[in-house]
Chain A
């Protein structure tokens, strides 16, 4: 007996529904083609073939060699393996002790880096961001050191959608021979990822942001990048990640990425006008609102705002009640209303930072969804402000 309002899903950056075509290719690997890819017999061979075909397919997406693709359980695991693995290897090989990350990384990077600093004694340094939450090549150049173990800068920000100049930063790092990682979990759902020109050494992917299953991800490891495995065991994934391969999900992930690339231009043609209309009208209609993130260098499906003197969590509750599923910048599910690190990093004061809203669109979003959303939002914002005494 959920609310009688029809629910409109506008939170595609959180996750997406599984594409039925992806579901279809996964099916047989649960029930009939259930072999363990490491087994010698034909069941195993069949499964191994599926995993390696998936690896080739994902390598095609990334424009890299299949042996540079490592399957993991999710984007966060990819981030962990990349940062930890590169940091430990750099320390072992060349006594490097310096880690450079941006102020607006996903917690999978920032919390991993904090542990590397607090527990393992790495010297952690944060790269500042501009008002759009972007890192500049210049600031990376200034901070790179001889003993920098690894640099990690996200491709596109999950909260505010801004895209970083990854190719340029990668070039700077490569010039100094410092491993460069980027978390491309959000970006890969929308942008072409060509590792042959991106100048990255490590790149994290997850499947569920692009209509693939949750619980599967991948890490691109450029050939020759020093990395120490963090999950030891049976030597799967070229010794980079032990554990029986999750065959059905690996197959599903590859199909999701293949479809995403194939349909990317169509999706852009659908999403960008919707996003631009949403941003334009919200900024026009609602008083005391700001767009967060870059106005143009942003993910095609991503609109994010802050509203002055609005409670972000309450706004999400009111939106859900009105039939719209959105997100905010903060850890809303636990009820914690504090502004996120990202909103602090781009210099928003508390009265703005508490009132964040992220609206992310997808291939099932319709024009009339946006119309209805824009129709109800002003009233909810004004009710919310009234409730807080503004």
Chain B
């Protein structure tokens, strides 16, 4: 694919990954434009949103100036609050554990920001994610894992559809994090030596607990910890503070180790049980995105990640309709968590993303992605 003079918008954060990605694109001959999102933070903690602190904004500006590319800050506070933060709050309020980064990628980066890029007549948008895309004329765009398995971010990109992927470039996907750090040095980029953080950007300085106390008070109301048969064993501090599969910190005394098996939002109860009750071999997922654009017509074997940090598990995926699939795992899993995404791979390739369903459903329907065409 010829790069000469093609316009690419790079989503910048001031961090090492997106900065190196920008430098690589410039070197590859693209006409590069930097953009950075201003996202919503809990009021009062704006300077802590790690995606867009004033410090990271000025770092991104410096890097853009060094690369001699234009740079624009794009305000996304309202749309981010509506589509990402509220999704997170609603999810917790309904007793599931959502992953807001998925919504951010689908609607903020790869819809809202991509539309800004398209409005500047950009052909592509790039991010500093560790993943790969294969653009072949006349073929569906393939989304592949990054070469560096330990850094692979294809999980959070599995929400993208074909029209989004056809505009996507991930310059870092062919490299390891170590190589990227070396490139940052050889490009002499003044990137901050900050550690990668796994915290949600919009929590700012606060933690989950105090954030949810403020925005989803029903999830931090104390309630009962019970067994399946209804026998009360203790009290919990609020459903938000527990995750499926958790054993420590329950404050229970029991001859056998007990785990969180289910969170019952209606009755504000946590249901615990021994290891045997925790393991599940099946899940149903909804709000499915078939990355390739095709709904397979028969069950197929795949590898599945049930959360961002999980390792792959093997199983058989049965498509139900364009919106749903079921998975039967070869081995039971301990921490299948409603609200998280089950991402299906075949080898390197991302096949599908579905939101794990449970007793409690996310009330919010999928909002369709709309890209502007001129």
Contact = CB atoms under 8 A, between A and B. Distances in A.
Interface string B105-140: 000000000011001110000000000000000000
Interface residues of B, number: 23
A4 interface: yes
B75 A335 contact: yes
A3 B26 CA distance: 12
B234 interface: no
B65 to A, nearest CB: 10
Nearest to B373: A386
Contacts, number: 53
B70 A384 contact: no
B120 A317 contact: yes
B120 A321 contact: yes
Interface string B213-230: 000000000000000000
A314 B72 CA distance: 9
A334 B69 contact: no
B374 A321 contact: no
A320 interface: yes
A321 B70 contact: yes
A40 interface: no
Contacts of B115: 387
A269 interface: no
B223 to A, nearest CB: 41
Contacts of A4: 5, 31
Most chain-B Cβ atoms within 10 A of its Cβ — which of A317, A334, A336, A337? A317
B119 A335 contact: no
B12 to A, nearest CB: 13
B68 interface: yes
B31 A3 contact: yes
A100 B244 CA distance: 62
Interface of B: 5, 26, 31-33, 36, 38, 57, 67-70, 72-75, 115-116, 119-121, 372, 374
Q: Which 5 A-B pairs have the closest CB atoms?
A: A335-B73, A335-B38, A335-B75, A321-B120, A337-B75
Interface of A: 1-4, 313-314, 317-318, 320-321, 333-337, 383-384, 386-387
17 contacts: A1-B68, A2-B68, A2-B69, A3-B70, A313-B72, A313-B75, A314-B74, A317-B116, A317-B120, A318-B120, A320-B70, A320-B72, A321-B70, A335-B36, A335-B75, A336-B38, A386-B372
Given A2-B68, A335-B75, 11 more contacts: A317-B120, A320-B70, A320-B72, A321-B33, A321-B70, A321-B121, A333-B73, A334-B38, A335-B73, A387-B115, A387-B372
